[in-house]
Amino acid sequence: MPKKSVVVEELRTAPLGLRIRPSLKGTLEALAVEARRPLANYIEMVLEDHVAEQQKRKEGKKRG
């Protein structure tokens, strides 16, 4: 079960367009279906999780 992102709710008003490989899109679509989420929502969740992880690493390096 996917973990919930810890992000303050705000309106989704900033559009983002990008081109990706068809194979990556297919994989993301399959994962989104498995997670019972729309593709855009799944991609947002993955990005939020990745950014949160990078921020944790960055903070850990500052302390260490």
Cα 1–Cα 54–Cα 10 angle in degrees, nearest 5? 70
Q: What is the pTM of this model?
A: 0.76
pLDDT of residue 12: 87
| Residues 6 and 52: beta-carbon distance below 8 Å | yes
Mean pLDDT of the chain: 89
Q: How far is CA 6 from the centre of its chain?
A: 12
Predicted confidence at residue 9, as pLDDT, reads: 79
Number of neighbours of residue 39 by Cβ within 10 angstroms: 13
pLDDT at residue 62, as a whole number? 79
Q: What is the DSSP letter of 36?
A: T
